[in-house]
Amino acid sequence: MISTLNFPYRRVGEGLTDYGDAIWIPTNKNNFSHGDGARDVRWIVIHSIEGSADDALNWFQNEKAKVSAHYVIDYNGKVYQMVREKDVAWHAGNWKYNVYSIGIEHAGFADKNMFTDEEYIASAKLVAYLCRKYNIPIIHWEGITPEDPTNGGGIIGHNQVPDPKNPKLGGGINHHSDPGKFWNWDYFINLVKKFYSQMNVGG
């Protein structure tokens, strides 16, 4: 496995990342869609990688992957950005939700209790920034979200994204279950609210 330390990266001061604490490691050009301008972001989709951050970084750089996420968060709290927010990452298993969302991958597994405090805190800071930037309500929806993503907004798990062919089923087209039962939604949402309240208006 390739260590992330071997990847070239630049920080926001060099004009690549949207989020100031992120390290820029771009996905392969074949794994996302270029946006036409500012997007109408309504949803933040929380994923678990089913592996390590290195696994996601390597896979999203593979032209055969045909998947990507905007951000990847490691167990130690490091945040990597792989797709610009103005572009459409392929993460939700539902094209409409891809268009109206930002996807965040987290090191860990849907069926293992391995998420760390450093990971939760880094993710909550990122999500607070995104909620402020895109005016996304800090709520965790219950159940599967609306078939039409413009009929709502909030913070959800991949498991809540409707299957585009059968919107009564969740997890997108492949019925993913992540981030799974060990993702502590109450703890996470409270962290997001805390960091949101500490931000300057317009920050």
pTM score of the predicted model: 0.92
Tokens of 113: 């209790």
Run of H or E residues at 197: helix 185-198
What pLDDT does 193 receive?
98
Q: Give 76-95 pLDDT, tens digit per residue.
A: 999 999 999 999 999 999 99
Say if strands 71-73 and 101-106 run parallel, antiparallel, or are unpaired. parallel
Domains of the chain by start residue, with CATH: 4-197 (3.40.80.10)
Q: How many angstroms separate the CA atoms of 105 and 46, rounded?
A: 6
> Are 105 and 48 a contacting pair, CB within 8 Å?
yes
Q: Give me the pLDDT at residue 38, please.
A: 83
Low-confidence ranges of the chain (pLDDT < 70): 1-15, 200-203
What pLDDT sits at residue 66?
Answer: 97
